[in-house]
Amino acid sequence: MTLVIGAGTAPVRAAARFMPITLFLAGQAFELEVIEVMSAAFVAACDALHLKISDPAARFVAEKVIALAQRGIRDPDVLRTMTLKEFGLSDESPSVAPSE
């Protein structure tokens, strides 16, 4: 099954699961399984960066995950790791803590 997410459409609910990456897929088509993988990587990368999905900076994370998935990467752990590397972090690096 391929889902096409269009701008201005209602949020897509696939099998009653919320897939947060869909908020950033306007006009792009991906297989349902790929959207699930991208969502898992997106949430994990945002967690590592201490970002909420609603944070405006989360859009940059989503764009990196989507770009990497478009290149054929389908493993959520690899997507997360490569996304973090795009932001100058690695799995060995301490995650970015918010300034207080």
Residue boundaries of the structural domains of the chain: 2-86
Count other Cβ atoms within 10 Å, centred on residue 17.
11
pLDDT reading at 99 higher than 50: no
Alpha-carbon span 71 to 49, nearest angstrom:
23
Give the tens place of pLDDT for each residue, 42-68: 999 999 999 999 999 999 999 999 999
What pLDDT was estimated at residue 86? 92
What pLDDT was estimated at residue 61? 97
Q: Are 58 and 46 in contact (CB under 8 A)?
A: yes
pTM value is: 0.75
Confidence band (pLDDT; 50, 70, 90) for 89? confident
Residue that is written with structure tokens 């990456």 in the block = 21
Q: Are 29 and 4 in contact (CB under 8 A)?
A: yes
Chain Cα centroid distance, residue 66: 7
